[in-house]
Protein backbone atom coordinates (compact mmCIF):
# COMPACT_ATOMS: atom_id res chain seq x y z
CA UNK A 1 0.00 0.00 0.00
CA UNK A 2 1.44 3.37 -1.00
CA UNK A 3 0.77 6.30 1.29
CA UNK A 4 0.26 9.60 -0.52
CA UNK A 5 0.93 11.74 2.55
CA UNK A 6 1.58 11.54 6.27
CA UNK A 7 -1.96 12.81 6.87
CA UNK A 8 -3.29 9.54 5.48
CA UNK A 9 -1.51 7.56 8.16
CA UNK A 10 -3.70 7.29 11.25
CA UNK A 11 -2.22 8.51 14.55
CA UNK A 12 -1.84 5.02 15.93
CA UNK A 13 1.53 3.27 15.51
CA UNK A 14 2.62 0.45 17.72
CA UNK A 15 6.12 -1.01 17.72
CA UNK A 16 6.77 -4.46 19.07
CA UNK A 17 9.35 -4.48 21.86
CA UNK A 18 12.47 -4.69 19.69
CA UNK A 19 11.05 -2.77 16.75
CA UNK A 20 10.90 -5.91 14.60
CA UNK A 21 7.24 -5.28 13.77
CA UNK A 22 5.26 -2.11 13.31
CA UNK A 23 1.48 -2.04 13.22
CA UNK A 24 -0.30 0.94 11.66
CA UNK A 25 -3.81 1.96 10.71
CA UNK A 26 -4.42 4.25 7.77
CA UNK A 27 -7.30 6.54 6.86
CA UNK A 28 -9.14 3.78 4.99
CA UNK A 29 -9.29 1.65 8.19
CA UNK A 30 -6.71 -0.88 6.95
CA UNK A 31 -4.21 -2.28 9.43
CA UNK A 32 -0.73 -3.12 8.27
CA UNK A 33 2.09 -5.13 9.80
CA UNK A 34 5.54 -4.23 8.58
CA UNK A 35 8.50 -6.50 9.28
CA UNK A 36 11.76 -4.68 10.05
CA UNK A 37 14.15 -7.64 10.33
CA UNK A 38 17.74 -6.57 9.54
CA UNK A 39 19.06 -7.54 6.08
CA UNK A 40 15.61 -8.46 4.82
CA UNK A 41 13.22 -6.31 2.78
CA UNK A 42 10.15 -5.09 4.64
CA UNK A 43 7.00 -7.16 4.20
CA UNK A 44 3.65 -5.42 4.23
CA UNK A 45 0.49 -7.29 5.17
CA UNK A 46 -2.84 -5.50 5.04
CA UNK A 47 -5.59 -6.30 7.51
CA UNK A 48 -9.08 -5.10 6.81
CA UNK A 49 -11.79 -6.20 9.15
CA UNK A 50 -13.20 -3.32 11.17
CA UNK A 51 -16.06 -1.22 9.86
CA UNK A 52 -15.13 1.81 11.99
CA UNK A 53 -12.10 3.70 13.24
CA UNK A 54 -9.48 1.58 14.99
CA UNK A 55 -8.69 3.02 18.43
CA UNK A 56 -6.14 0.62 19.87
CA UNK A 57 -3.75 -2.09 18.73
CA UNK A 58 -1.72 -4.23 21.15
CA UNK A 59 0.55 -7.25 20.86
CA UNK A 60 0.26 -10.28 23.13
CA UNK A 61 3.18 -10.68 25.57
CA UNK A 62 4.72 -13.45 23.42
CA UNK A 63 4.27 -11.42 20.20
CA UNK A 64 2.40 -14.24 18.43
CA UNK A 65 -0.91 -12.39 18.27
CA UNK A 66 -2.15 -8.85 18.22
CA UNK A 67 -5.56 -7.40 18.94
CA UNK A 68 -7.33 -4.34 17.58
CA UNK A 69 -10.33 -2.44 18.94
CA UNK A 70 -12.69 -0.19 17.08
CA UNK A 71 -15.58 2.18 16.99
CA UNK A 72 -17.52 -0.77 15.52
CA UNK A 73 -17.68 -2.26 19.09
CA UNK A 74 -15.59 -5.30 18.11
CA UNK A 75 -12.18 -6.59 19.20
CA UNK A 76 -10.35 -8.56 16.52
CA UNK A 77 -7.59 -11.05 17.33
CA UNK A 78 -4.97 -11.57 14.63
CA UNK A 79 -2.14 -14.06 14.13
CA UNK A 80 1.04 -11.97 13.86
CA UNK A 81 2.90 -14.57 11.74
CA UNK A 82 0.19 -15.32 9.16
CA UNK A 83 -1.81 -12.07 9.41
CA UNK A 84 -5.03 -14.09 9.57
CA UNK A 85 -7.94 -13.04 11.75
CA UNK A 86 -8.35 -15.56 14.57
CA UNK A 87 -11.64 -14.40 16.09
CA UNK A 88 -13.88 -11.44 16.88
CA UNK A 89 -14.92 -10.54 20.42
CA UNK A 90 -18.34 -8.92 20.61
CA UNK A 91 -20.31 -7.70 23.62
CA UNK A 92 -19.71 -3.98 24.11
CA UNK A 93 -22.49 -1.55 23.18
CA UNK A 94 -20.14 1.40 22.60
CA UNK A 95 -16.86 2.08 20.81
CA UNK A 96 -13.91 0.20 22.37
CA UNK A 97 -11.24 2.78 23.16
CA UNK A 98 -8.62 0.65 24.92
CA UNK A 99 -7.50 -2.97 25.16
CA UNK A 100 -4.73 -4.76 27.07
CA UNK A 101 -3.40 -8.31 27.24
CA UNK A 102 -2.80 -9.81 30.67
CA UNK A 103 0.90 -10.51 31.41
CA UNK A 104 0.37 -14.25 30.77
CA UNK A 105 -1.48 -13.50 27.49
CA UNK A 106 -4.56 -15.49 28.49
CA UNK A 107 -6.94 -12.54 28.98
CA UNK A 108 -7.81 -9.29 27.27
CA UNK A 109 -9.34 -6.35 29.12
CA UNK A 110 -11.32 -3.82 27.09
CA UNK A 111 -12.63 -0.37 27.98
CA UNK A 112 -15.54 1.15 26.11
CA UNK A 113 -17.75 4.18 25.64
CA UNK A 114 -20.50 2.00 27.16
CA UNK A 115 -18.85 2.73 30.58
CA UNK A 116 -17.78 -0.89 31.11
CA UNK A 117 -14.59 -2.92 31.27
CA UNK A 118 -14.91 -6.44 29.93
CA UNK A 119 -12.58 -9.40 30.45
CA UNK A 120 -12.20 -11.91 27.64
CA UNK A 121 -10.65 -15.36 27.33
CA UNK A 122 -8.15 -15.09 24.46
CA UNK A 123 -8.33 -18.78 23.51
CA UNK A 124 -12.11 -19.09 23.28
CA UNK A 125 -13.18 -15.47 22.76
CA UNK A 126 -15.64 -15.85 25.65
CA UNK A 127 -16.58 -12.81 27.72
CA UNK A 128 -15.73 -13.70 31.33
CA UNK A 129 -16.75 -10.56 33.25
CA UNK A 130 -18.26 -7.14 32.75
CA UNK A 131 -17.16 -4.49 35.27
CA UNK A 132 -19.13 -1.31 35.90
CA UNK A 133 -18.46 1.81 37.95
CA UNK A 134 -17.35 4.58 35.61
CA UNK A 135 -19.93 7.28 34.92
CA UNK A 136 -18.50 8.07 31.50
CA UNK A 137 -16.74 6.11 28.76
CA UNK A 138 -13.62 4.12 29.64
CA UNK A 139 -10.62 5.43 27.69
CA UNK A 140 -7.77 3.31 29.07
CA UNK A 141 -7.19 -0.09 30.66
CA UNK A 142 -4.04 -1.79 31.98
CA UNK A 143 -3.19 -4.97 33.86
CA UNK A 144 -0.92 -4.92 36.89
CA UNK A 145 2.41 -6.75 36.35
CA UNK A 146 1.13 -9.80 38.28
CA UNK A 147 -2.13 -9.83 36.25
CA UNK A 148 -4.32 -9.75 39.37
CA UNK A 149 -5.64 -6.19 39.01
CA UNK A 150 -6.88 -3.92 36.26
CA UNK A 151 -6.59 -0.14 36.27
CA UNK A 152 -8.96 1.91 34.13
CA UNK A 153 -9.33 5.56 33.27
CA UNK A 154 -12.34 7.56 32.14
CA UNK A 155 -12.99 10.85 30.41
CA UNK A 156 -15.11 14.00 30.50
CA UNK A 157 -17.24 14.36 33.64
CA UNK A 158 -15.93 11.14 35.25
CA UNK A 159 -12.17 11.85 34.94
CA UNK A 160 -11.36 9.00 37.32
CA UNK A 161 -8.89 6.17 37.62
CA UNK A 162 -10.22 2.95 39.13
CA UNK A 163 -8.64 -0.32 40.26
Q: Is residue 85 domain-resident?
A: yes
Residues forming beta bridges with residue 69, ordered by sequence position: 56, 75
- pTM (predicted TM-score): 0.71
Residue 151 in domain: yes
Domain with residue 158: its CATH number is 2.130.10.10
Return all residues near 112 (Cβ < 8 A) that are at least 6 apart.
Answer: 73, 92, 93, 94, 95, 96, 97, 118, 137, 138
**What is the per-residue pLDDT for 31?**
57
Give the pLDDT of the chain (163 residues) as one tens digit per residue. Answer: 333 333 333 323 333 333 445 555 556 556 565 555 555 555 545 556 777 788 888 999 998 999 999 889 999 998 888 778 899 999 999 999 999 999 999 999 999 999 999 999 999 999 999 999 888 899 999 999 999 999 998 987 777 777 7
- DSSP per-residue letters across 11-74: EEEEE-TTSSEEEEEETTS-EEEEE--TTS---EEEE---SS-EEEEEE-TTSSEEEEEETTSE
Measuring CA to CA, which residue among 84, 102, 98 is closest to residue 46?
A: 84
Query: Is residue 115 included in any domain, yes or no?
Result: yes
pLDDT of residue 84: 83
Per the structure, the count of domains in the chain is 1
Amino acid sequence: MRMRSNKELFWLTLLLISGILACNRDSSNDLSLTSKIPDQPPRLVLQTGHSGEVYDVVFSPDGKQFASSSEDRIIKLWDAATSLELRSLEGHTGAIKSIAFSPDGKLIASGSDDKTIKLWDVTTGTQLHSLEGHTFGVTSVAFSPDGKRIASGSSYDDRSVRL
